[in-house]
Amino acid sequence: MEQRFVMKCGGSTLAALPEDFFGELRELQQSGVKPVIVHGGGPAISETLTKLGIETEFVNGLRKTSDDVLDVVEMVLAGRINKEIVRKIGMNGAQALGLSGVDGGLIQARPVANASEIGFVGDVTDVESGIIEGIMAMGYIPVIAPIGIDANGQRYNINADTAAGAVASHLGVERMIVVTDVPGILKTVNGEKQVLPSVTVEEIEEMIASGEIYGGMIPKVRAAIQCIQGRVREVVIVSGQEAGVLTRAVREGGVGTSIVQSKQRQV
């Protein structure tokens, strides 16, 4: 079985990644590994909405998405950020092809349960994985913007982590890599912060309740948990700033924090 992996990355994280990171992507691609990238872009969307004078608010961490907001979400994600990533990968000698979930009906979606209060935000119902397979077979890295579409042609804003988990699951990938700006989930041991090598979803909830995971780290770990769905059993949180991090995460493991649904308890 060829080696492939799905990587989720926020738009602002991607913009700050060092050139070495893209060099690693190129080397992995050249060695026969097939990466798939799903990206977000929340801060850039907020910034553009402000510039255009369009009001936006969040309900339980998801952006309330009206028709006007949806236009901007698509413009920023599928336009600016998607092409910026494709361009950066190309400048570093690898080949990428950018698309959104609308292209070829790649990400099929339906409204979330609380659509009445949150607007055009979607849950993924299906992923046309054959499109991704075809792009990889042509030798390109697929770069996917998380916009979904339904049978009526209605577009949906989809949480990037949810979309990434769905893409990985439909591709049959069991392990996903979330590239962020932290080296993993930190725990204070004897007064020193250490990266936890492995943690379960239940342990994360306990650490949030006890205050060990706090502030900006909460949405990051909650987002990573959203990637664990379908066939995806494990999500690895790594820092894109660490040298060689991608190769280590793909080939060796033992880097960042691995989040698993549950551990087999030792008797």
Residue 7's φ and ψ, nearest 5 degrees, are -120, 130
Q: What is the pLDDT of residue 126?
A: 96
Q: How does pLDDT run along the chain (267 residues), one tens digit per residue?
A: 568 899 999 888 887 888 899 999 999 999 999 999 999 998 999 999 999 999 888 887 778 999 999 999 999 999 999 999 999 999 999 999 999 999 999 999 999 998 999 999 999 999 999 999 999 999 999 999 999 999 999 999 998 988 999 999 999 998 899 998 888 888 888 888 889 999 999 999 999 999 888 877 887 788 788 888 888 889 999 998 888 999 999 888 889 999 998 765 443
- How do strand 96-100 and strand 141-145 relate by DSSP bridges? parallel
Q: What is the pLDDT of residue 226?
A: 81
The one-letter amino acid at 222: R
Tokens representing 181? 């700006």
DSSP-derived letter for residue 256 is S
What b/e string do you get for 50-75 counting C-beta neighbours within 10 Å, with b at 16 or more?
eeeeeebeeeeebbbbeeebbebbbe
Tokens representing 155? 């577009």
DSSP 61-113: TEE-B-HHHHHHHHIIIIIIIHHHHHHHHHHTT--EEEEETTGGG-EEEEE-T
Length of the chain: 267
- How do strand 34-39 and strand 141-145 relate by DSSP bridges? parallel
Q: What is the pLDDT of residue 186?
A: 86
DSSP-derived letter for residue 119 is B
Q: How many CB atoms sit inside 10 A of residue 189's CB?
A: 9
Cβ atoms 256, 236 nearer than 8 A: yes
Tokens representing 103? 């292209």
Tokens representing 111? 């409204």
